[in-house]
Amino acid sequence: MTPVESIVERGQIAQQKYEQYTQAQVNLVVEAVAWAILEPKRNQELAELAVQDTGLGDVADKFKKNFRKTLGLIRDLSTAKTVGVIFENLKTGLTEYARPVGVVAAITPSTNPGATPINKILNALKCRNAVVVAPSPKGHSTCARLLEFIHQQLDLVNAPRDLVQMLPFPITKDSTNELMRLADLVVATGSQANIRAAYSSGTPAFGVGAGNVLAIIDEHADLNGAAAKITQSKIFDNATSCSSENGVVICADVYSGAIQALENAGGVMLDEADKKRLEGVMFQGGKLTSTLTAQYPSVIAERAQLQNPKAKEAKFLMVEEDSFGSCAPFSGEKLSPVLTVWKAADFKAAQDLVTHVYDYQGNGHSVGLHTALSGDVMEKRAATLAENLKVARVIVNQAHTIATGGSFENGLPFSLSMGCGTWGKNNFSDNMNYRHYLNITRVVRPIPERVPKVEDLLKDYFARFPQA
């Protein structure tokens, strides 16, 4: 038996015991495991370890992310029913029972080595599953420490430790692939290579699409408010999130004012020479390198040898672009505090430009819209984007990174894994949530027969095309 086979077998044994828990017992386990990362001292240690070992992001922002994402998820889970009857309709004779899926393989990225594993773990446990985490190699140490805290909490509530396990070090593609083959469900977040591996593992899988989020600032926007939200979002955790704005499309009527607002908020616009210097380090052969991923602007300025003296003091850097696609690498995802800026003639032109950029990279994820704060303008513009762009979310007048994965100020489920639908080559377009970790069994009872008449169901057709 291989080490991975042994881990999965132990998970199966623990899950079979856990499946007998009542809803109250499950809820207690979930609350206990949540405290493993919500407790401030443990959270701080995990945040520091994450940045130390991955070299990505910001400790204070990691702390905030670990706390807010977990707190929000626990809020979502607190009222969810995942044991026994979860739906009943006597009129249709249907009753639905929540059932676990078994052992979940949780594939997690280096960008969020604490927040993403705990999110998947809590969702899995809420649905009476066991879970085995496959962290990125860089995120291994953070995940291992998190599991030490989780096991302490499981001991406290007398739940099996083997409900939550991880792959042993060193993390390899072979061990991760073996885990995915042996598990009952794969939930994958990270590189598109990992997502493709999950989908081809032979195990049912949920995987997420690529980022490259753009935001539109239209002629009705509160420019200072938009700039403040974009800045808050862009610089959070040094743009590790797939929901971080990679570009902003600004309507021409307010372009100069919007640029000024972004500069006032801490952005620094690079000239063409510095843009070329940055491109030479950030992209190799038109493809994004990891050299500048999730680094501070000061580090980026130094590594790219930028000449603008303000670059080292910037909150984020900006480059102007007038094209898209492989000929314009800055139109793609950057995973760093670098923001691409386009000028569009009007809102329709802005929408068209987003379409072209997303066809290159980013279809399915999300788009941001900064417009009038309320009223018909806001509703019509949001509706236009929702009906025409290949996106699963239209985020209106919010800091995109904060809002897309669920926020206390919107109604999306808290998550660190955003489905992008078929546009992003995913099989779902929701924020990944506990319902993706459930099987549902339906009891189907007989009801009085109701057979409709053909002429009633096809009445509109027959009215237009009378049959001979």
Q: Is residue 397 part of a domain?
A: yes
231 and 115 belong to one structural domain: no
- As a whole number of angstroms, the distance between CA 61 and CA 59 comes to 5
Q: Is residue 454 part of a domain?
A: no
Cβ neighbour number for residue 170 with a 10 Å cutoff = 8
- As a whole number of angstroms, the distance between CA 229 and CA 212 comes to 17
- As a whole number of angstroms, the distance between CA 454 and CA 312 comes to 72
Structure tokens at 174: 């072979």
Q: Is residue 134 part of a domain?
A: yes
73 and 21 belong to one structural domain: yes
- As a whole number of angstroms, the distance between CA 186 and CA 465 comes to 50
What CATH code is carried by the domain that includes residue 252? 3.40.309.10
What pLDDT sits at residue 191? Answer: 81
The pLDDT tens digits of the residues spanning 227-239 come to 999 999 999 999 9
Average pLDDT over residues 246-272: 97
Does residue 139 surpass a pLDDT of 70? Answer: yes
The pLDDT tens digits of the residues spanning 289-335 come to 999 999 999 999 999 999 999 999 999 999 999 999 999 999 999 99
| C-alpha separations of 218 from 195, 258, 370 in Å | 35, 10, 6
Q: Is residue 71 part of a domain?
A: yes
Bridge partners, residue 438, by sequence:
100
Mean pLDDT of the chain: 95
Instruction: For residue 84, name the pLDDT band (cuts at 50, 70, 90).
Output: very high
184-219 b/e with 16+ CB inside 10 Å = b?
A: bbbbbbbeeebbebbbebebebbbbbbbbbbbbbbb
What pLDDT sits at residue 298? Answer: 96
Average pLDDT over residues 67-94: 97
List all residues 6 or more positions away from 227 whose beta carbon is below 8 Å from its beta carbon: 258, 261, 262, 264, 265, 267
β-pair type (283-284, 438-444): unpaired
Domain count across the chain: 2
Which one-letter amino acid corresponds to residue 408? F
Structure tokens at 59: 């400790």
Average pLDDT over residues 199-212: 91
Residue 177 structural domain: 3-208+432-443
What pLDDT sits at residue 126? Answer: 98
- As a whole number of angstroms, the distance between CA 157 and CA 29 comes to 7
63 and 103 belong to one structural domain: yes
139 and 251 belong to one structural domain: no
The SS3 call for residue 438 is strand
Q: Is residue 266 part of a domain?
A: yes
| C-alpha separations of 132 from 80, 91, 127, 209 in Å | 23, 41, 15, 22
Classify residue 184 by its DSSP letter: S
Percent share of the chain, pLDDT over 70: 100
Bridge partners, residue 369, by sequence:
216, 396
Say if residue 20 is exposed, middle or buried (CB neighbours under 10 Å; 0-12, 13-18, 19+): exposed
Q: Is residue 464 part of a domain?
A: no
Q: Is residue 185 part of a domain?
A: yes
What CATH code is carried by the domain that includes residue 11? 3.40.605.10
Instruction: For residue 273, name the pLDDT band (cuts at 50, 70, 90).
Output: very high
Instruction: For residue 95, name the pLDDT band (cuts at 50, 70, 90).
Output: very high
**242 catalytically annotated:** yes
Least confident of 107-111, 254-258, 382-386: 107-111
List all residues 6 or more positions away from 210 whose beta carbon is below 8 Å from its beta carbon: 192, 242, 333, 361, 362, 365, 420, 424
Instruction: For residue 466, name the pLDDT band (cuts at 50, 70, 90).
Output: confident
If you write DSSP's letter for every residue of 324-372 in order, what string do you get?
-STT-GGGS---SSEEEEEEESSHHHHHHHHHHHHHHTTTEEEEEEE--
What pLDDT sits at residue 468? Answer: 59
User: Tokens 């509160």 label which residue?
Assistant: 222
280 and 406 belong to one structural domain: yes
Out of 143, 242, 251, 420, the active site residue is 242
Which one-letter amino acid corresponds to residue 314? A
What pLDDT sits at residue 190? Answer: 83
Q: Is residue 55 part of a domain?
A: yes
Predicted TM-score of the model (pTM): 0.94
